[in-house]
Amino acid sequence: MIIPLAQTLATDDLGWVLAENEYEKGGPHRLHSNHKITKDDYIKYINIAKALGTRFLGGFVIGEWDRENTCAKACYNKPESPIDITEKGKDWNNIPPKDSVFDYIKENAAYLDFGLHGVRHGHYEEGKNITGEWAYRLKEGAPTPWDPENKTSFVICDCFKEILRQYYTEEEMPFPESFIPPSHVLYTDPESDVSTCAVLSKYGVKYATLRYTTKNEIMPHFTKFGLFDHNVFMIDRRPPREVSFDKDSCKPPLPPRPYPFIETHFNNLWGVEEYWKKYLSLINLFPTRMIAKNTENVFSQWIYRKYVKISRGYIDFSQVPQEFYDKNIVSNLVLKTFVGPFHLKINSELSVCGYYKDKFGYAYVTLADMNEPMGRGVGKYKLSCKLTTKKPYDIPDNSRDTYCLYGGEECESCVKIRLKIYRGQSITIPTKREIIKVESSNPQVKIEEYEFGKDFVKIYLSGVSMIGDETIITINEGKCRVV
As for how many domains the chain has, the answer is: 2
Cα 39 to Cα 44, 45, 49, 80, 314: the distances in Å are 9, 10, 16, 36, 49
Element (DSSP H or E) covering residue 155: helix 151-164
pLDDT in tens, 1-12: 999 999 999 999
pTM for the predicted model, two decimal places: 0.96
pLDDT in tens, 128-180: 898 789 999 876 778 899 999 999 999 999 999 999 999 999 999 999 999 99
pLDDT(406) > 60: yes
Residue range 283-287: average pLDDT?
97
Contact (Cβ atoms closer than 8 angstroms) between residue 455 and residue 430: yes
Question: Are both 330 and 272 inside the same structural domain?
Answer: no
Question: Are both 91 and 219 inside the same structural domain?
Answer: yes
Query: In whole angstroms, what is the distance from residue 463 CA to residue 469 CA?
Result: 6
Cα 41 to Cα 45, 267, 366: the distances in Å are 6, 9, 33
Domain annotation covers residue 295 = no
Query: In whole angstroms, what is the distance from residue 157 CA to residue 70 CA?
Result: 13
Residue range 89-109: average pLDDT?
95
Closest C-alpha among 259, 150, 166, 136 to residue 201 = 150
pLDDT in tens, 178-192: 999 998 899 999 999
Question: Are both 239 and 151 inside the same structural domain?
Answer: yes
Helix axes 39-52, 273-281, angle to 10 degrees: 20
Domain annotation covers residue 238 = yes
Return mean pLDDT, the chain. Answer: 94
Question: Are both 162 and 274 inside the same structural domain?
Answer: yes
Question: Are both 158 and 198 inside the same structural domain?
Answer: yes
Beta bridge partners of 439: 474
Question: Are both 249 and 361 inside the same structural domain?
Answer: no
DSSP designation for 2? B
Residue range 425-446: average pLDDT?
94
Cα 184 to Cα 200, 216, 219: the distances in Å are 16, 14, 10
Question: Are both 79 and 163 inside the same structural domain?
Answer: yes
pLDDT(434) > 70: yes
Domain annotation covers residue 220 = yes
Go through 383-410 and write b for each residue having 16 or more CB atoms within 10 A of its CB, e for each that does not.
bebeeeeeebbbbbbbeebbbbbbbbeb
Q: Which domain holds residue 198?
A: 7-287
Question: Are both 384 and 434 inside the same structural domain?
Answer: yes
Determine what percent of the chain is predicted with pLDDT higher than 70: 98
* Amino acid sitting at position 169: T
Residue range 248-263: average pLDDT?
95
Q: For residue 215, name the pLDDT band (cuts at 50, 70, 90).
A: low
Cα 302 to Cα 38, 472, 473: the distances in Å are 35, 26, 28
Cα 327 to Cα 195, 206, 230, 281, 373: the distances in Å are 17, 8, 9, 32, 11
CATH at residue 95: 3.20.20
397 HSE (CA, 13 A, CB side): 17
Question: Are both 403 and 469 inside the same structural domain?
Answer: yes
Question: Are both 84 and 142 inside the same structural domain?
Answer: yes
Domain annotation covers residue 115 = yes
Query: In whole angstroms, what is the distance from residue 459 CA to residue 445 CA?
Result: 12
Question: Are both 107 and 240 inside the same structural domain?
Answer: yes
Question: Are both 101 and 218 inside the same structural domain?
Answer: yes
